[in-house]
Homo-oligomer: A and B are copies of this chain.
């Protein structure tokens, strides 16, 4: 067996829609390097866990979360990406509905919070690049899968669904055509319920017809 001196970490890119904007979860680093700077939550992989488990564990240290979507994104391996030594990082992209995630107040990293992706602070390591990569993947998946379900509450209106697409893809969509497409694809089904407490015509509430990730050409 060859001898190596390479460490491996996972980093999580947690996306959610907050205040009608696409946001990403960042921690504030408590130690060097990049002390006090913002960074993606991440930690070293343990010997008895696979990468996905490591990503989950890390997430649960920072937050209380349910019904989260997690997928491996890319492994970043530039030789000098970490000033402490050779560290390879496997990035995982997570999607969660804002109400399904609670940021742990006593977590290891202070001031963990969501930041709008188009107003990011200066980031540690190569994390800016990592987030950009994740954004690309997210957009792609929004167009070609039913991944939107993981960022929405279980019941939602078609207007909310459309807004998610418009926010993430950053483009306006015609109401009529959007609804035609969604209906055609059997993407969602009616719950029989309606919005309550709004001061205009209440919209029907829908849910996704399947809870599994599927390939569908949405837009």
Interface of A toward B, CB cutoff 8 Å: 1-2, 4-8, 44-45, 47-52, 72, 74-75, 77-79, 84-86, 88, 90
Contacts and interface: CB of A to CB of B under 8 A. Distances in A.
Nearest to A91: B75
A77 B48 contact: no
B2 A44 contact: yes
A73 B77 CA distance: 14
A186 to B, nearest CB: 22
Given A2-B44, A8-B88, A45-B77, 4 more contacts: A4-B7, A4-B45, A4-B47, A49-B79
B44 A4 contact: yes
Number of copies: 2
Contacts of A2: 7, 44
Nearest to A2: B44
22 contacts: A1-B7, A2-B44, A4-B8, A4-B44, A4-B45, A4-B47, A5-B47, A6-B45, A6-B47, A8-B8, A8-B88, A47-B79, A48-B79, A49-B79, A50-B78, A50-B79, A51-B77, A51-B88, A72-B74, A75-B75, A75-B90, A77-B90
Nearest to A82: B1
A90 to B, nearest CB: 5
Contacts of A72: 74-75
